[in-house]
């Protein structure tokens, strides 16, 4: 027997699998379908990370098991290739992102293939492929036509040095990540998607899916639903009103001032009434300069300024109260204005103390006196100083006061969400062009002659965004033009704005001159719907013609929903939420069949991060990055696979340990050596061997079938591997391994170490491929052991153990136990007060 040579045999079997299309999902099949999805990677220049591998290998184990269980499995892979790093690389080196992407994806693919992952490469996708992003653009157009996309001026993070808009992730400590300049807020026109329309359903439908609790909690919090009341405050001698949002209308009698967010539009309208407007203006200007992150870090020190010359009126008691502007109130949440109740809200309390404002207690705790030197009392209690609501429980008053004000038309129950509309444009190059043009003629027509416009002449989106006209679907994709210079313009526009002959075009409606939108979509756009793309058939009429994807509802209906989706915890708030939203929209407009249901992913799991050796995060700067390719080269793919599954709980963060990989290698070498012990003659023997000698082994095999099967289902892959190690150690002790037992063993191991098991399967002379065998079923009768070790405890402490028949009756067990020498030592001269007998486990004497 030659030595275990993973390099040679892994290449061999990868070749055979590929040649025989073993992992290709069938579009027509009598088998039940099973769709296993792992997040497709962003193909960076650094290549695959060991963390990627964890997700791929884990779900590869699942996919392989499902195939062996007889399912038609779809386990695809692709490239989420639009994005900033490639673009920045282009700016630095002048190498076109397309070229860099091609190189990177080839590298990633080579590494993935080298791991023996059972992806269906016939369905490979790439978000930067025009055939692919044609549909990304098409989805955007559907959103636009249905009124879910709109352009608005909103504040963004702006780097004055780079002259570029930054994503939140690119802002570190209020500074530009790249140049270190201070980031400011700047108003910019951006496309937004109305994800907030779906907030309620995105919460509700979490009940329909099997996501881990932490994912559900996280999504829920991100959406941030809050039920409360909006209350209108009159302003003295003014027509204008201020509407506030509160969840505690029961404290309204304790409201002693109002606070507006600095961006609140009413301030501008009250300009002439505000006697100290100069100072107010100054304050607003200062606070605008701060970006959001800075505001938060100053949470302890609240600042603000009173609007002198105007007063608001508390609707419950007619009291005149001052109005402040303070940046502890956020424009983006609620109404951008609050009623301040310093006695019962800590933030208001701090503010009131600083500016010497009245603090009126209106809720008294039931069983104790609240000490206001400690701060505000935010709990429930009994109303005081509240006129007709005096003595009422705060929980009840919450409803009553709201109703009472509602009858006077100054209050309304409302629901608010933290979730904001989704900023969907980037002033960049390497992304999907937004397929819209701006037409001045049409803009004028829509604005000025609304009445004359015929039905269906313009879509909802076109009417809502005057001048913005959709590119006709037949003209998709709007291809990203080649440029030589990837830097944004002086004004911070996309580099596309510089290509005049691309920008200048004809309006598809009026045929007049028009300009293309030069913003591109964010990198989420391509990953919003990619799981659908894997189901889509492609056609290519000739070599010279470009490939096309067909939106085939039947195929979507067959494969969706995704049965099992695994990805990083870092994507639960954005990608997962965004793609659920886009799916729901497509489902609403009938682009995906109704039968599938309102959710795209049935089950979602998350793998833990892999840290560098010693528990610190892997990073290029620390030089502790482990390249999976080196591991594969040195130890083999199967070792890499087994180690990554064995290293610890799948969902948990874990440090890399090369020594552990060596352990995995040793295990596989042991497995390799077992082939010498296989008894070829035992082929004819039935699995159920009469020889009592092998009963334990038989029982162990069945236990392992059960354990490995169940562990894979719950992603306890570490204990699955460990039980295979136990079995291997046991097989190693045998003089001879019956062939049939050996075949079961190889099948169980094959999802983890597919190359090795394939080779051994072949060497022993079994027919077919190991990875195409039927997954074995265990016999529960064989798992039950006939003899067990009964634990004898005295006062709960283990004192002895005896080997007995498994179903020994209590009185007999008691008799034997009490006659044991070690037990007698403890029970001598003592009275047994109580005996607890747990069949198959233990007997406990209380003395």
Minimum CB–partner distance for residue 39 and RNA (Å) = 17
Taking the complex as a whole, how short is the minimal distance between the CB of residue 418 and RNA, in angstroms? 4
Closer to RNA by Cβ: residue 299 or 460: 299
How far is residue 518 from each of residues 97, 492, 499, 524, 600, measured CA to CA in Å?
Answer: 18, 11, 9, 18, 31
Q: At what angle do helices 97-114 and 6-19 cross, to 10 degrees?
A: 110
When binding is defined by CB under 7 A, the residue of 32, 179, 236, 836 that contacts RNA is 836
Residue closer to RNA (CB basis): 345 or 517? 345
For the chain, how many helices (H) and strands (E)?
Answer: 29, 36
Q: Applying CB under 7 A, which of residues 90, 148, 267, 329 lies at the interface with RNA?
A: 329
Asked if 226 interacts with RNA (CB under 7 A), we say yes
Q: Please, which residue, 136 or 287, has the CB nearer to RNA?
A: 287
For residue 329, what are the contacts with CB-CB under 8 A and spacing of at least 6? 259, 260, 261, 336, 337, 338
# binding residues, RNA (CB under 7 A):
84
Q: What is the DSSP string of 146-195?
A: TT-EEEEEEEEEEETTTTEEE-GGGEETTEETTT-PBPEEEEEEEEEE-G
Q: 629 vs 669, which CB is nearer to RNA? A: 669
Smallest distance from RNA to CB 567, Å: 14
CB atoms within 10 A of CB 178: 14
Q: Could you tell me the smallest distance in angstroms from the CB atom of residue 330 to RNA?
A: 4
Residue number, 93 or 226, with CB nearest to RNA: 226
C-beta of 787: minimal distance to RNA in Å?
11
Which one, 181 or 798, has the nearer CB to RNA?
A: 798
CB atoms < 10 A from the CB of 847, how many?
Answer: 13
In whole angstroms, what is the distance from residue 706 CA to residue 695 CA? 17
Residues contacting residue 798 through CB under 8 Å, at least 6 positions apart: 791, 792
One of 58, 76, 433, 655 touching RNA (CB under 7 A): 655
Our finding on whether 774 is near RNA (CB under 7 A) is no
Q: How far is the CB of 573 from RNA (least distance, A)?
A: 6
Write the DSSP assignment of 434-492 as a string of letters.
P-EEE-HHHHHHHHH-GGGPPTTSS-HHHHHSTTEEEPPGGG---PPPP-S--SPPTTS
Provide, rounded to whole angstroms, the least separation between the CB of residue 354 and RNA. 11
Judge contact between 115 and 54, C-beta under 8 A: no
By CB under 7 A, tell whether 801 contacts RNA: yes
Footprint (CB under 7 A) of RNA, residues 389-448: 416, 418
Give the Cα separation of 14 and 764 in Å (integer): 19
Contacting residue, 21, 46, 200, 221, with RNA by CB under 7 A: 221
Given the complex with RNA, which of 183 and 476 has the nearer CB atom? 183
Longest CA pairwise span in the chain (Å): 109
Site string for RNA, 252-291 (x = CB under 7 A): ---------x------------------------------
Q: Which of positions 337-376 make contact with RNA (CB under 7 A)?
A: 338-339, 345, 347
User: Of 131 and 166, which CB lies nearer to RNA in the complex structure?
Assistant: 166
Nearer to RNA, 73 or 419 (CB): 419
What is the residue whose two structure tokens read 């829920």? Answer: 220
Instruction: Rank residues 175 and 295 by Cβ distance to RNA and give the closer one.
Output: 295
Per CB under 7 A, the list member of 298, 412, 710, 736 interacting with RNA is 298
Binding residue for RNA (CB under 7 A) from 69, 292, 440, 779? 292
Q: Are strands 513-516 and 436-438 parallel, antiparallel or unpaired?
A: antiparallel
Alpha carbons 835 and 817: distance in angstroms, whole number: 11
Site map for RNA, 570-609, x if CB under 7 A? x--x------------------------------------
- Asked if 799 touches RNA (CB under 7 A), the answer is yes
Rg (CA), the chain: 34
Site string for RNA, 658-677 (x = CB under 7 A): -xx-xxx-xx-xx-------
For residue 247, state whether it binds RNA (rule: CB under 7 A).
yes
Distances in Å between the Cα of 285 and the Cα atoms of 15, 235, 282, 299, 682 are 66, 24, 5, 19, 87
Stretch that binds RNA, among 45-53, 202-210, 217-225, 763-771 (CB under 7 A): 217-225
Q: What is the residue-wise DSSP string for 328-343?
A: TS-TTSTTSEEEE-GG
Which residue carries 């208001």 as its tokens?
348
Residues 724-753 interacting with RNA (rule: CB under 7 A): 725-726, 728-729, 732
Verify binding: residue 719, RNA, rule CB under 7 A. Answer: yes
Q: How far apart are CA 15 and CA 813, in angstroms?
A: 60
Q: Is residue 620 part of an annotated ligand binding site?
A: yes
Q: Which two tokens stand for residue 755?
A: 């190359």
Closest CA to 61 of 717, 531, 561, 602: 717
In the complex, the smallest distance separating the C-beta of residue 341 from RNA, rounded to whole angstroms, is: 7
Shortest distance in whole angstroms from residue 643 CB to RNA: 8
Regarding 834 and contact with RNA (CB under 7 A), the answer is yes
* Residue 319 makes contact with RNA by CB under 7 A: no
CB under 8 Å to 32, separation ≥6 — which residues? 70, 71, 72
568 burial type by CB count under 10 A (0-12 exposed, 13-18 middle, 19+ buried): middle
Q: Is 796 near RNA (CB under 7 A)?
A: yes
Closer by beta carbon to RNA, 445 or else 571: 571
Closest CB to RNA among residues 246, 518: 246
CA 468, CA 513: separation in Å to the nearest integer?
A: 13
Tell me: does residue 683 bind RNA (CB under 7 A).
no
Minimum CB separation from RNA for residue 279, in Å? 18
State the nearest-atom distance from the C-beta of 799 to RNA, in Å.
Answer: 6
Site string for RNA, 478-507 (x = CB under 7 A): ------------------------------
**How near is the Cβ of 237 to RNA at its closest, in Å?**
26
Q: At a CB cut-off of 8 Å and minimum separation 6, what does 180 contact?
A: none
Q: Is 649 in the site for RNA (CB under 7 A)?
A: yes
Q: State yes or no: residue 831 binds RNA (CB under 7 A).
A: no
Nearer to RNA, 268 or 710 (CB): 710
Structure tokens at 687: 């699995």
Out of 147, 309, 648, 709, name the contact with RNA by CB under 7 A: 648
> Interface with RNA includes 641 (CB under 7 A)?
no
Task: Say whether residue 798 binds RNA (CB under 7 A).
Answer: yes
Q: Which two tokens stand for residue 562?
A: 């995704």
Cα 583 to Cα 135, 154, 529, 596, distances in angstroms: 13, 26, 7, 11
Q: Does 299 bind RNA (CB under 7 A)?
A: yes
Q: Among candidates 522, 601, 596, which has minimal Cα distance to 149?
A: 522
* Residue choice 40, 328, 430, 742 for contact with RNA (CB under 7 A): 328
Omega within 30 of 0 (cis) for the link into 477: yes
Binding site per annotation, positions: 620
What residue numbers does the annotated binding site for ATP cover? 620
């Amino acid at each position: 027997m030659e030595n275990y040579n993973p390099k040679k045999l892994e290449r061999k079997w990868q070749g055979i699998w590929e040649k025989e299309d073993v992992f290709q999902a069938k579009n027509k099949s009598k088998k039940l379908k099973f769709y296993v999805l792992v997040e497709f990677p962003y193909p960076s220049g650094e290549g695959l990370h060991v963390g990627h591998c964890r997700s791929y290998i884990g779900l590869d184990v699942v996919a392989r098991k499902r195939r062996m269980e007889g399912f038609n499995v779809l386990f695809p892979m692709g490239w989420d290739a639009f994005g900033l790093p490639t673009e920045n690389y282009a700016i630095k080196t002048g190498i076109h992102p397309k070229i860099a992407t091609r190189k990177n994806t080839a590298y990633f693919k080579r590494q993935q293939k080298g791991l023996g992952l059972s992806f269906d490469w016939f369905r490979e996708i790439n978000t930067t492929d025009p055939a692919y992003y044609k549909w990304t653009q098409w989805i955007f157009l559907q959103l636009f036509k249905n009124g879910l996309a709109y352009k608005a001026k909103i504040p963004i993070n702006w780097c004055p040095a780079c002259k570029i808009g930054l994503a939140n992730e690119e802002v570190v400590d209020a500074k530009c990540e790249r140049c270190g300049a201070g980031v400011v807020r700047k108003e910019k026109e951006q496309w937004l998607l109305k994800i907030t329309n779906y907030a309620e359903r995105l919460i509700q439908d979490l009940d329909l899916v099997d996501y881990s609790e932490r994912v559900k909690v996280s999504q829920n919090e991100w959406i941030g639903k809050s039920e409360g009341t909006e209350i209108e405050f009159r302003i003295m001698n003014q027509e204008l009103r201020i509407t506030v949002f509160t969840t505690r209308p029961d404290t309204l009698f304790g409201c002693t001032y109002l606070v507006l967010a600095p961006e609140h539009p009413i301030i501008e309208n009250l300009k002439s009434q505000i006697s100290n407007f100069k100072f107010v203006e100054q304050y607003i200007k200062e606070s605008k300069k701060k970006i959001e992150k800075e505001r938060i870090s100053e949470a302890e020190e609240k600042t603000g300024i009173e609007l002198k010359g105007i007063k608001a009126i508390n609707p419950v008691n007619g009291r005149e109260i001052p109005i402040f502007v303070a940046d502890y109130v956020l424009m983006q949440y609620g109404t951008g204005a609050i009623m301040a109740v310093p006695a019962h809200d800590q933030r208001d309390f701090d503010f009131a103390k600083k500016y010497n404002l009245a603090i009126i207690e209106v809720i008294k705790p039931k069983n104790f006196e609240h000490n206001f030197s400690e701060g505000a009392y935010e709990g429930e209690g009994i109303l005081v100083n509240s006129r007709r609501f005096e003595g009422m429980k705060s929980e009840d008053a919450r409803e009553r006061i709201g109703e009472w004000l509602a009858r006077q038309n100054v209050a309304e129950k409302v629901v608010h969400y933290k979730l904001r509309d989704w900023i969907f444009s980037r002033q960049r190059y390497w992304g999907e062009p937004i397929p819209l043009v701006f037409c001045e003629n049409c803009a004028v027509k829509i604005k000025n002659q609304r009445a004359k416009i015929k039905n269906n002449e313009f879509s909802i989106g076109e009417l809502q965004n005057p001048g913005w006209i959709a590119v006709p679907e037949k003209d998709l994709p709007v291809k990203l033009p080649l440029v030589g210079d990837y830097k944004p313009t002086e004004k911070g526009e996309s580099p596309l704005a510089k290509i005049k002959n691309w920008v200048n075009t004809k309006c598809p409606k009026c045929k007049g001159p028009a300009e293309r939108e030069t913003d591109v979509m964010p990198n989420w756009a391509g990953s919003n719907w990619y799981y659908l793309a894997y189901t889509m058939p492609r056609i290519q009429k000739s070599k010279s013609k470009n490939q096309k994807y067909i939106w085939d509802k039947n195929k979507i209906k067959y494969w969706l929903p995704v049965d099992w989706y695994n990805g990083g915890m870092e994507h639960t708030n954005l990608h997962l939420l965004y793609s659920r939203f886009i799916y729901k929209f497509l489902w609403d407009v009938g682009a995906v069949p109704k039968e599938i249901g309102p959710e795209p992913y049935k089950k979602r799991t998350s793998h833990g991060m892999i840290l560098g050796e010693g528990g610190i995060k892997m990073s290029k700067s620390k030089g502790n990055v482990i390249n999976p390719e080196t591991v594969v080269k040195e130890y083999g793919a199967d070792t890499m696979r087994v180690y990554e599954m064995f290293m610890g709980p799948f969902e948990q963060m874990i440090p890399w340990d090369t020594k552990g990989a060596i352990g995995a290698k040793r295990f596989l070498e042991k497995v390799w050596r077992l082939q010498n012990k296989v008894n070829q003659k035992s082929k004819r023997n039935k699995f159920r061997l009469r020889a009592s000698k092998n009963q334990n082994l038989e029982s162990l095999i069945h236990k392992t079938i059960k354990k490995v099967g169940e562990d894979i289902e719950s992603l306890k892959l570490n204990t699955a591997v460990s039980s295979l190690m136990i079995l291997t150690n046991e097989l190693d002790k045998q003089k001879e391994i019956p062939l049939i037992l050996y075949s079961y063993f190889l099948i169980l191991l094959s999802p983890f170490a597919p190359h090795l098991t394939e080779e051994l399967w072949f060497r022993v002379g079994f027919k077919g491929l190991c990875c195409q065998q039927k997954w074995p079923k265990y016999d529960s009768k064989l798992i039950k052991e006939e003899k067990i070790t009964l634990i004898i405890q005295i006062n709960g402490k283990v004192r002895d153990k005896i080997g007995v028949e498994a179903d020994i009756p209590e009185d007999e067990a008691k008799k034997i136990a009490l006659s044991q020498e070690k037990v007698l030592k403890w029970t001598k001269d003592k009275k047994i007060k109580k005996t607890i007998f747990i069949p198959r486990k233990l007997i406990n004497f209380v003395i």
